Amino acid sequence: MTSSTPSNHVFVLMGVSGSGKSAVANAVAHELKAAFLDGDFLHPRANIEKMAGGHPLDDADRKPWLKAINDAAFAMQRTNDVSLIVCSALKKHYRDILREGNQNLSFVYLKGDFDTIESRLRARKGHFFKPQMLVTQFATLEEPGSEEKDVLVVDINQSLDDVIASTLKAIDGAINKTK
């Protein structure tokens, strides 16, 4: 049994908090009639309780969560032409866990600078993320390098509509490249 067919793709929208992952993924999923999953929904109860207590997750906390997302990506690519998953995937070894065994998985890195993202976070209403935590997010971020050939980069220093259009174009290019 093969793990997927060449026409079924999973795209993980990655980046620091405030980069627009959820908003972009929702719009792109709607446009493409694609399956959509917010990876945060797969956190185990222990992680949720730890974060709710104001404690950051460490790599040991994240490993079962990333494996759950990997399993979800595998299932999604078996049954959907295009699937989107939101996951920050800030470190290369997190991305390696996500891509393991998922040959048709790619990343869309929503790349932006600190000042742009901080201003967006400060403008958010009713979101749990504190803008000062952005410093930690950028410190943790291991930007994808040229060796990660499955990463598409979208510059978020443009309007949300333009980011969505750029993401759609990047996904279309990746899909057509495999045909």
CATH at residue 59: 3.40.50.300
Decide: helix, strand or coil at residue 106. Answer: strand
Residue 3 lies in a domain: no
Residue 2 lies in a domain: no
Examine the pLDDT at 5 and tell me if it is beyond 80.
Answer: no
**Long-range contacts of 54-59, Cβ-Cβ distance < 8 Å, separation of 24 or more:** 56/136, 59/91, 59/93
Examine the pLDDT at 55 and tell me if it is beyond 70.
Answer: yes
Band (118; pLDDT cuts 50, 70, 90): confident
Residue 4 lies in a domain: no
Residue 113 lies in a domain: yes
Residue 1 lies in a domain: no
What was the pLDDT predicted at 131? 59
Residue 55 lies in a domain: yes
Q: pLDDT (tens digit, 9 = 90+) per residue, 58-85?
A: 999 999 999 999 999 999 999 999 999 9
Give residue 65's region: left, alpha or beta (phi > 0; psi -120 to 50).
Answer: alpha
Residue 94 lies in a domain: yes
Cα–Cα distance for residue pair 95/109, rounded to 1 Å: 11
Q: In the block, which residue shows the tokens 């040959």?
A: 103
- The pLDDT of 142-170, averaged and rounded, is 97
Band (177; pLDDT cuts 50, 70, 90): confident
- The answer to whether residues 105 and 72 touch, using CB atoms and an 8 Å cutoff, is no
Question: Which residues 6+ apart lie within 8 Å of 113 measured at CB?
Answer: 157
Task: Count how many Cα atoms sit within 13 Å of the Cα of residue 86 in the half-sphere of its side chain.
Answer: 19
Provide the number of structural domains found in the chain. 1
Band (7; pLDDT cuts 50, 70, 90): low
Band (123; pLDDT cuts 50, 70, 90): confident
- Reference 106, options 136, 148, 146, 66; nearest CA is 148
Residue 137 lies in a domain: yes
Q: Which domain holds residue 171?
A: 9-177
pTM of the complete model beyond 0.85: yes
